[in-house]
Amino acid sequence: NLRPVGIVGAGPAGLTLANLLRQGGIPCVVLERGTREYIETRPRAGVIEHRAVRMLDEHGLADRLLREADRHGACEFRVNGQAHEVDYAALYDGQTHYVYPQQEVVKDLLGAFLDSGGDVRFSVTDVELHDIETSSPYLTWTSASGERERLDCSFIAGADGFHGVTRRSIPAGAVQEFSHQHGIEWLSILAEAPPSTHKVIYALHPDGFAGHMLRSSTVSRYYLQVPVDDTVDNWPDERVWAELHKRLALRDSDWKLTEGRITEKRILDMRSYVVEPMNHGNLYLLGDAAHIITPVGAKGMNLALHDAEVLAAALMEYTRTGDDAGLRSYSEVCLRRVWRAQEFSQWMVFMIHRSPEPFLSRLGQARLEHLIASGSSAGYFAQNYVGP
């Protein structure tokens, strides 16, 4: 009579863990604040590393992804209106990214879990964690119908994102927090516009960075570097498009940006955060609950999937054999990848942004010129970008 693992949060991290545990015969219950519709339509990431896809595929969770996702092995840096392509797949054993929106990943993971009889409680509120330092931790929450409920757990998995409740349940002083404000801000835009490019574009312009990301054949994501403390109200649609046209422009070319209806506009806090260790007692944190990273380099969801894979293996080993070596090394194993991703993201942030300090802008430009000119620098970029 195994007590279940209580998983808080049905994002990519929580749902991947839930599926892997269920496949391994370990009972679990997922508590989610949102409705099913909310989590299945929440657009965020869109770029998945080959490694994460292989892991999902090994567990039979990537069928639709492999059928529908586009594969990308090159990106473009636009500097002063000139395009420089980096063929990172060629530089790294032919490995590619998969472009597949995060809400589709969530839809697939949720569908697989529910189809196998998995237990997800939607629309829960006031989740509380109890006795996490003991071997009988438990969760309480208010259900969608207003009842206070309780689940006695073997372990608790905190997969409730950066603003969730699980990390905050760890007593002050038991963990160390590392955070960094990158001193830049992005306006993030989602539009019903077919992509104007076959590759992701990172454009460096005297007025700041602009990015054209890929999501699907009908939807695209764009980013604009904006002054710190800027607000969405300053960015009516016409200004967004004018700025994108200007910063993405290509010299001596008839390339054009296709516009579409803007469906989301938000200011992104360009911040990094890591908590160490990623566990306390019998609470294990994963994904954004333990670490956030800027979207530069597209690592956040990939790290969340990796944490889930490592934790599932550790919990399975412990349940089958009583060996807790995997649980003891969980945090260390995950953090190694997390810090490597943070280092790469920071390297890239520095390279593609215009700093208020002109000297630093020049250094970033020199880094990019080196990347374009040098095989070894491009090799570093390729390996880290597509995922080590």
In the complex, least distance from residue 28 CB atom to ligand RFL, rounded to whole angstroms: 14
Question: Which of 97, 182, 205, 299 is flagged as catalytic?
Answer: 299
- Inter-CA distances, 164 with 8, 268, 273, 288, Å: 9, 18, 14, 9
- Residue number, 198 or 362, with CB nearest to ligand RFL: 198
Residues 6+ apart with CB under 8 A from 238: none
Residues lying near ligand RFL in the complex (CB under 6 A): 8-14, 31-34, 39, 44-47, 102, 124, 127, 159-161, 164-165, 188, 268, 287-288, 295, 298-302, 304
Note whether 8 and 98 are within 8 A (CB).
no
Check if 385 is active-site.
yes
Q: What type of residue sits at position 215?
A: R
Residues 6+ apart with CB under 8 A from 157: 5, 6, 7, 8, 14, 17, 28, 283, 284, 285, 286, 311
Question: Which of 12, 137, 195, 295 is flagged as catalytic?
Answer: 295
Check if 195 is active-site.
no
In the complex, least distance from residue 302 CB atom to ligand RFL, rounded to whole angstroms: 4
Check if 88 is active-site.
no
Beta-carbon neighbour count of residue 13 at 10 Å?
Answer: 31
Q: What type of residue sits at position 312?
A: A
Q: What end-to-end distance do the CA atoms of the chain give, in Å?
A: 39
- Residue number, 15 or 91, with CB nearest to ligand RFL: 15
In the complex, least distance from residue 342 CB atom to ligand RFL, rounded to whole angstroms: 13
- Inter-CA distances, 253 with 83, 137, 195, 246, 369, Å: 10, 63, 17, 14, 22
- Residue number, 70 or 369, with CB nearest to ligand RFL: 70
Note whether 326 and 198 are within 8 A (CB).
no
In the complex, least distance from residue 38 CB atom to ligand RFL, rounded to whole angstroms: 7
- Residue number, 208 or 211, with CB nearest to ligand RFL: 211
- Residue number, 248 or 298, with CB nearest to ligand RFL: 298
In the complex, least distance from residue 190 CB atom to ligand RFL, rounded to whole angstroms: 8
Say which DSSP state 291 is in: E
Alpha-carbon span 226 to 190, nearest angstrom? 16
In the complex, least distance from residue 87 CB atom to ligand RFL, rounded to whole angstroms: 20
Alpha-carbon span 370 to 364, nearest angstrom? 10
Task: Tally helices (H) and strands (E) across the chain.
Answer: 11, 20
Check if 265 is active-site.
no
Handedness of CA 104, 105, 110, 112 (dihedral sign): positive
Question: Which of 4, 12, 50, 72 is flagged as catalytic?
Answer: 72
Check if 72 is active-site.
yes
In the complex, least distance from residue 200 CB atom to ligand RFL, rounded to whole angstroms: 9
- Residue number, 10 or 349, with CB nearest to ligand RFL: 10
Question: Which of 88, 98, 100, 202 is flagged as catalytic?
Answer: 202
263: which 2 tokens? 């469906």
- Residue number, 97 or 354, with CB nearest to ligand RFL: 97
- Inter-CA distances, 10 with 6, 125, 241, 319, Å: 11, 14, 34, 23
As annotated, the active-site residues are 72, 202, 295, 299, 385
